[in-house]
Amino acid sequence: MGALLLCLLVCLPLTFILYESSKPSTEAWQQLSQVDPGGILEELDLKEEIPEHSRLYLKTKNTLLLLCSVVALSAMAGIALAWVVSRWHFPLRKSMSVCLVLPLTIPSYILAASYKLLTIDTKNSLAVWVRTNWGQDVMSTFDELWNFTLATFVLTAAFFPYVYLAARTAFSNLSTSYLESSQSLGLSSSQTFLKVALPLARPAIIGGLMLVSLETLNEFGAMKILGIDTLTTEIFYAWTNLEDKNAAIRLAGCIMLILLVLLIAEQWLSGGKRFHASRNTSSSPTLKKIPKFKSALVTLSCLTILFLAFILPVGQLINLAVDGLEKDSISRFLPLVANSLWLAANSSVLILFASVFLAYACRKIPHWSMVTLSKVSTLGYAIPGAILGICTIAVIGFIKNNTSGGNLLDYLYYGSSYGLVLAYLVRFLAVGLPPIDAGLKQINRNLDEASQCLGHGFLSTFFRLHLPLLKLSLSAGAIMLFIDILKELPLTLILNPSNHETLATKTYSLFAVEERYTTGAIPALILILAGIMGLCAVRYISRNK
Amino acid sequence: MTDHSLELKNVSKKIGHLTILGGVNLKLDTGKIGVLAGESGSGKTTIIRIIAGLESPNDGEVIICGKESATISAKGRNVGLVFQDYALFPHLTVTQNIAFGLRKASNNEKQQRVDSLLNLLNLMDIAKRFPHQLSGGQQQRVAIARALAPRPAIILFDEPFSNLDSIQKRKLREQIKTLIKETKSTALIVTHDIDDAMRLADEIFIIQHGKVVQSGTPKELRLSPTNSYVAELVSHGHLDRS
């Protein structure tokens, strides 16, 4: 019953998208989806004013182009780095193996703000040069191209660690005997990589690429800062500028269609290819010795990527924060820290509770229906935060109009942060569930039966056996949730009560709206620091495991 | 009237269309050691899981100490089970593992019972160790002590010697036999090794295709096997042909 409720909670926004899309389209939607809404320009005989493409077409094109470029670049960087780190011997390999995950601690909107500032002088000089030599039109194209390239770079730098982590685990777990037998059959190192290692790691890599795709589609803050219009930013435009719920939800429907295609592609690409490659018997794989020149080149490449994706932007933020602290006291940000901690802690506890409940239900009732309910409940992560936020408000509006519980709903969603906590539950259940599920799966079912035979019932077995054994998985899950919730922007922007700003919303508003970079660098660094501490804690826990 | 600790009457188990047990009948007297011997996949483990209450039969009766138990859960059945992989709780020490089933006892009673089992099974020196710090034989003894702690009506052993080398196995086989006799327990042991069965059992039940094809003392089975399958088994020693 509880699993069904969680599943319904996730399905509600999706159902609402379908419901709203089935209604007649509004004027705002026509403005977005047609080149000449109502045929006014044609009627006024201003055919030359009619744009070649609709706003919707342009934003969809931008979204898809960005998605393809970020996914392709993240795949290249993530796979290549994972392969060298897990299979080659080179100076600083161990440190690189850990440090290349660090870019995950910088929220993409902070990275975007940092790079915007770092490149603004170069961009302006080049823009002046382009305008002087080729005119205004070419300069506009240059401006668009620059922003798009920068956005692709920023998102790749922020999200490639997802692919890197997935591929690194897959490559490290690959039995050396596969690679050795391939080479003994006459294949070169690169052929072995392409024909043996890559196909075996494919399901994991596709999983990582799927995460990159979801994050790219979810991206709002970085796009606003860099001036790129995508379907997600268009949702905010329809919601805040056009004040049209129907148009915003229809746009959400377009993103969900892209997501559906991606999910089908993921199933198709990895569904039948879940290999069970036997692991190397030794605790770490045999590392290949490479020539000195090559190993120096590999170290340099890793360092360059780490420098661009982490050291340079963090260095820039520290520099800004030092200036910022001269004007602002850090105590000004303490209420924000308190708000963020309160939200992240409460939400993490609720999500962990739901995750334990779902994972335990699947263990106790291993029926296909329960497994399906559990899988559907984690689909919330695939719904971009902006869509989830708007759908939540739309659903509340719908319930308020049709029931008498309006005051309570108003309090839940506008007067307090409880509504946001519930929305986080829908979105982040997919982050909390896997570590708990994996932890429970590691507990031999014979232990449950032994406990039963020794006279212990369901609750006693849970508290005395499962909970102590799940301690590390719960801690890892809690930390991951905590970091993700601290960083989450679009959902928090939409659902957070106005008097309850968080570190993420304040950083975004200081960077993107007020353009006060020195002041914004302070909460930004606090967020990054929290992320680094979280990563260290997860690493410590994994080692202890 | 015979004093049976355990009686199975026409117990059958099906999974889908597959018949796992096709009407198993079995009686084991109090204080005796029974051995279920059969090839892999013959249904031996399913029988002890049904006796322990971890699986329900589709049909038939499971009578433990004169009480029909098919509807009683594993928790309330008072049957001890020693798992093939021992299933020791990894986060608990040897002492804590043994005390796990003594829920209703007072702290004093718990302490006394645990101490007596630690002494009986020669586990005193390793009482504070965790399962991963023990050898296979030590883990086996802890699992036996844990199963014996709540004084079960019957103690079941699922392939108790499969993870041990031949020296450890011989030693433990004798220990188990002595222990069961000393504690006057009733035990049912599953094995695919006829040599173990012949040396341990008061009564052997030969299982083939989910049915008891012959039961009797080791001597009876040796001297008068009822069919060629049993004759071949008891003369050649090992049952596992898989």
pLDDT in tens, A186-201: 788 888 888 888 888 8
Report the alpha-carbon distance of residue A155 to residue A112 in Å, rounded: 8
* Rg over CA atoms, chain B: 18
- Residue A331 sits at φ, ψ, to 5 deg, of -65, -20
Average pLDDT on A351-380 reads 83
- Residue B92 sits at φ, ψ, to 5 deg, of -115, 150
* Residue of chain B nearest A464, judged by CA positions: B100
Q: Is the pLDDT of residue A491 over 90?
A: no
Q: Tell whether B103 is within 8 A of chain A (Cβ).
A: yes
Q: Tell whether B79 is within 8 A of chain A (Cβ).
A: yes
Q: Report CB contact under 8 Å: B100, A460.
A: no
Contact status, residue B63 vs residue B154, Cβ threshold 8 Å:
no
Report the alpha-carbon distance of residue A246 to residue A17 in Å, rounded: 9
Q: Is the pLDDT of residue B14 over 80?
A: yes
Contact status, residue A51 vs residue A42, Cβ threshold 8 Å:
no
Q: Tell whether B87 is within 8 A of chain A (Cβ).
A: yes
The verdict on residue A161 lying in a domain is yes
Q: Report CB contact under 8 Å: A444, B87.
A: yes
> Across the strands, what pairs with A40?
none
Reported residue count of chain A is: 545
The verdict on residue A38 lying in a domain is no
Q: Which two tokens stand for residue A37?
A: 């809404």
Q: Is the pLDDT of residue A301 over 90?
A: yes
* Residue of chain A nearest B149, judged by CA positions: A454
Residue that has been written with the tokens 């290819």 in this structure: A273
pLDDT classification of A498: cutoffs 50, 70, 90? low
pLDDT in tens, A77-127: 999 999 999 888 899 998 998 899 899 899 999 999 999 999 999 999 998
Assign residue A483 the CATH number of its domain.
1.10.3720.10
Q: Tell whether A1 is within 8 A of chain B (Cβ).
A: no
- Residue B37 sits at φ, ψ, to 5 deg, of -120, 140
* Residue of chain B nearest A452, judged by CA positions: B75
The verdict on residue A281 lying in a domain is no
Tell me the three state secondary structure of residue A220: coil
The verdict on residue A392 lying in a domain is yes
A442, A454, A456, A458, best to mutate vs chain B, most B CBs in 10 Å: A454
Among candidate residues A360, A447, A451, the one with its CA nearest the CA of residue B75: A451
Least confident range of A313-317, B54-58, B193-197: B193-197
Contact status, residue A230 vs residue A252, Cβ threshold 8 Å:
no
Q: Report CB contact under 8 Å: B52, A449.
A: yes
CA distance B235 to chain A (A): 34
Q: Report CB contact under 8 Å: B52, A450.
A: no
| A450 → closest Cβ in B77, B83, B91 | B83
| B75 → closest Cβ in A446, A456, A465 | A456
Chain B contact set for A463 (CB, 8 A)? none
Q: What's the confidence (pLDDT) of residue B242?
A: 37
Average pLDDT on A129-143 reads 88
The domain tally of chain A equals 1
Q: Report CB contact under 8 Å: B54, A452.
A: yes
| A453 → closest Cβ in B80, B91, B103 | B80
| B103 → closest Cβ in A447, A455, A469 | A455
| B75 → closest Cβ in A452, A464, A465 | A452
Instruction: Show which of residues 403-462 on chain A sit within 8 Å of chain B, judged by CB atoms.
Output: 444, 446-447, 449-457, 460
Q: Tell whether B75 is within 8 A of chain A (Cβ).
A: yes
Chain B contact set for A447 (CB, 8 A)? 87, 89
In this prediction, what percent of chain A has a pLDDT beyond 90?
25
Among candidate residues A250, A213, A214, the one with its CA nearest the CA of residue A234: A250
Q: Is B102 buried (19+), middle (13-18) or exposed (0-12) by CB count in 10 A?
A: buried
Q: Report CB contact under 8 Å: A465, B53.
A: no
Instruction: Show which of residues 154-173 on chain B sit within 8 Å of chain A, judged by CB atoms.
Output: none
pLDDT in tens, B196-233: 888 889 999 999 888 999 999 988 888 888 888 888 88
Q: Is the pLDDT of residue B236 over 70?
A: no
The verdict on residue A40 lying in a domain is no
Give the CA angle between residues A230, A232, A234 to the nearest 5°: 70
Q: What's the confidence (pLDDT) of residue B241?
A: 42
pLDDT in tens, A245-296: 888 888 888 888 888 888 788 777 765 555 555 444 444 567 888 888 999 9
Q: What's the confidence (pLDDT) of residue B49?
A: 92
Report the alpha-carbon distance of residue A18 to residue A246 in Å, rounded: 11
The verdict on residue A30 lying in a domain is no
Q: Is the pLDDT of residue B240 over 70?
A: no
CA distance A449 to chain B (A): 7
pLDDT in tens, A379-429: 788 788 888 888 888 777 777 777 766 666 666 666 667 788 888 888 888
The verdict on residue A28 lying in a domain is no
* Residue of chain A nearest B156, judged by CA positions: A453
SS3 sequence of chain B: CCCEEEEEEEEEEEECCEEEEEEEEEEEECCCEEEEEECCCCCHHHHHHHHHCCCCCCEEEEEECCEECCCCCHHHCCEEEECCCCCCCCCCCHHHHHHCCCCCCCHHHHHHHHHHHHHHCCCHHHCCCCHHHCCHHHHHHHHHHHHHCCCCCEEEEECCCCCCCHHHHHHHHHHHHHHHHHCCCCEEEEECEHHHHHHHCCEEEEEECCEEEEEECHHHHHHCCCCHHHHHHHHHCECCCC
The verdict on residue A488 lying in a domain is yes
Q: What's the confidence (pLDDT) of residue A413?
A: 64
Q: Report CB contact under 8 Å: A455, B150.
A: yes
Q: Which two tokens stand for residue B141?
A: 């003894």
Chain A contact set for B150 (CB, 8 A)? 454-455
CA distance B220 to chain A (A): 34
Report the alpha-carbon distance of residue A8 to residue A14 in Å, rounded: 10
Q: What's the confidence (pLDDT) of residue B163?
A: 72
Q: What's the confidence (pLDDT) of residue A173?
A: 79
Average pLDDT on A49-64 reads 84
Q: Is the pLDDT of residue A32 over 90?
A: no
CA distance B146 to chain A (A): 8
A442, A448, A452, A453, best to mutate vs chain B, most B CBs in 10 Å: A453
CA distance B79 to chain A (A): 7
Average pLDDT on A209-225 reads 89
Average pLDDT on A193-221 reads 87
Q: Is the pLDDT of residue A478 over 60?
A: yes
Chain centre to alpha carbon of residue B89: 19
Q: Which two tokens stand for residue A354?
A: 């739901």
pLDDT classification of A316: cutoffs 50, 70, 90? very high
pLDDT in tens, B71-125: 888 888 889 999 988 889 988 999 999 999 888 889 999 999 999 999 888 899 9
Q: Which two tokens stand for residue A359?
A: 């994972």
Q: What's the confidence (pLDDT) of residue B130?
A: 93
| B74 → closest Cβ in A453, A465, A468 | A453
- Residue scoring higher pLDDT (A93 or A25): A93
| A446 → closest Cβ in B74, B83, B147 | B83
Report the alpha-carbon distance of residue A117 to residue A266 in Å, rounded: 37
Contact status, residue B126 vs residue B134, Cβ threshold 8 Å:
yes
Q: Report CB contact under 8 Å: B100, A468.
A: no
Q: Tell whether B241 is within 8 A of chain A (Cβ).
A: no
Q: How many CB pairs under 8 A join A and B?
A: 61
Q: What is the mean pLDDT of chain A?
A: 84
Q: What's the confidence (pLDDT) of residue A280?
A: 47
Q: Is the pLDDT of residue B166 over 50?
A: yes
Give the CA angle between residues A48, A52, A58 to the nearest 5°: 145
Q: Tell whether A464 is within 8 A of chain B (Cβ).
A: yes
pLDDT in tens, A504-533: 998 998 888 888 888 889 999 999 998 888
Q: Report CB contact under 8 Å: A449, B103.
A: no
Q: Which two tokens stand for residue A309?
A: 């994706």
Q: Which domain holds residue A79?
A: 2-20+54-273+288-544
